[in-house]
Chains A and B, each alone.
Chain A
Amino acid sequence: KNQVEQSPQSLIILEGKNCTLQCNYTVSPFSNLRWYKQDTGRGPVSLTIMTFSENTKSNGRYTATLDADTKQSSLHITASQLSDSASYICVVAGMNYGQNFVFGPGTRLSVLP
């Protein structure tokens, strides 16, 4: 069964600190992996999209890495800000038609002053 797992489930850090969120997946064949940010009460917003040939992609203070061999991805947040408090969702797209996006449960990040 195609699955996406994320860790940790929740994380609390102080403003200005860095953190790394993890994503493991079993979706096969793999097409691409996405990271989304979801603020409380809002819809998810795209941060990065990576295909199997991309090892890393950045979007400002967000840097995603992908290891397609081990089926692992990480999202690194640098110099965290209070506005980074949100859920971060890992989403994997399969290659086969009708194989829709598979969502992880998300990591809830709280950035404290």
Chain B
Amino acid sequence: NAGVTQTPKFRVLKTGQSMTLLCAQDMNHEYMYWYRQDPGMGLRLIHYSVGEGTTAKGEVPDGYNVSRLKKQNFLLGLESAAPSQTSVYFCASVQGYNTGELFFGEGSRLTVL
């Protein structure tokens, strides 16, 4: 039982390049989230999903896209990376909205030059 797994853990991009972060959970959770964490700020929600095939925008969605084609996977894409997207990205999942324990991945550190 791995919980929530994020890949890659580290990535350096040049401005304008694209990439995809993968989040996989093996707990059969319905809800999945992508957050970014910047120094001195709380985690901010980028996009979330309430079930397979669904996605919704969070607080800071601009410049990101997501897909949830399979229940266990939640992908975060950057089509044209910008230096402002340098951050640590966390994926999280929970079974029932606002009732269950929220499990986090270990994070993906992205640097955009």
Contact = CB atoms under 8 A, between A and B. Distances in A.
Interface of A: 4, 31-32, 34, 41-46, 49, 89, 91, 93-95, 97-98, 100-106
Contacts of A41: 107
Given A41-B107, A43-B90, A44-B104, A94 B42 contact: no
Contacts of B41: 105
Interface residues of B, number: 24
Contacts of A4: 42
Interface of B: 4, 33, 35, 40-45, 48, 56, 58, 90, 92, 97-99, 101-107
19 contacts: A4-B42, A31-B99, A32-B98, A34-B102, A41-B107, A42-B106, A43-B90, A43-B104, A44-B43, A44-B104, A45-B104, A89-B43, A94-B98, A100-B48, A100-B58, A101-B33, A103-B44, A105-B40, A105-B41
Contacts, number: 50
Contacts of B104: 43-45
